[in-house]
Structure 1
């Protein structure tokens, strides 16, 4: 009887430890991925209207104003299960206009997300793509519209300058203070670098996702979002659809880098892709997010304002 009582106590004690351990792990996961943490609030004006995703059917789209010209082409290559569908936005800015960025709900922090279309609408964007989903990570150098929000160097980043130039850089080799002193308006922390000085940048077979996903390759064909620069104030924004049978299989990183090189990009950088890949233009989502015309919430966008 005493042995049974002792065994029961041991079993109860072990069970409590197991429950507490599982509970602690679950809370940490929820804290990282589910619980909204606001680190900063950005004051912006906007209509506050959220629009529904709408899949446009036209192939060529154009917009021109005193400050920018935008030309978008829908391109399809291949056929059947090897078909690739992608959208190229050729953007030229003038009269001091610059690429801009906006945060979901106008707040900086983890697990704060909105659809790309909603962020774009709230900021009167003509054209927008998803950014680097900074809120999924706790590291990286994040400067947005000249404000430093996070200073945890970790990887190859992208810097866009107020003078309309853009370059990739090693976050661990350049301080955020130096970047701001050089006139950086926005930085992005995702990668990898696709094109550097006009040349394809890396052996993508050996590029791995960071610790949030585990050490596995990201080279296989997927939806993609990226940004390149041809000349100062002349950018190409590209969104590749994927995961949709007989419509678009997506691109490998080699294919994505080759595309930017063919478009004439001197520099190009890979942004958040997969289900996040979205291009918005004049009130519509023009690509096919997640292969089912359904947007996924993101932390931030890059956009051209009206």
Structure 2
């Protein structure tokens, strides 16, 4: 009976959060989108997150995201995979929508705790007038495949940066704890975000609709990279057709035929060439729309793209 109640509690909420009509290959991968940074900026982020854990011993793990891309995570990839999917598909979109509709503090207004920065809690207090806030921070289970550990997930956001703090469940999540976090995180994070944003502005790339598009997934670290998707909102914001996405999914489902390495090439009646490559637990899908191309020309284009985008990865 207890199991039945727990399952009902979980699935009654979880099933409503699924948007099956907007799902595509990214939902199958459940991958992590990483943000490439130069060494100095990355070390700044890493040192800051280490400092947070040292200053607040209640915090067992941390993660840092910028524009919904992972910069730093202290979790194992499998744990971060679940947290990341929850953040980008459920928690952060709901938070931003609430802000845009005036249900929370306006997006560019100062922190409710201080006027010296623009950081605010996504899970936790909306203002200083909430005395008991345990119910505002969800519980997560880390290291679930070995020895599950229950922690509170406290999410803090400043400008385009999001910090995840995994807090010991024995901690009393009262207003004083959040005030201390806010006063420490807010000013330093605002400065750090400026450094990250400056680096990102140097590497902005525009993807023309007519160019060759690709999707890459690495099963070893669960990383993905896509020029098919304008963001990680999946199906609602893609630069190709539903037919092409279905074919990519079919190729993915047929990858068992390739054993550890191989290649599948498909041409559609609408002159799309879809190439799927598998090697060393890495999957690479290329979409080319070229009416008069031969299979040799398509193969050459895929090789060129591999050399340009995946220089350190060799497909055998």
TM-score, length-normalised on structure 1?
Answer: 0.26
Higher fraction of strand: 1
- RCO higher in 1 or 2 (8 Å CA, sep ≥ 6)? 1
TM norm structure 2: 0.25
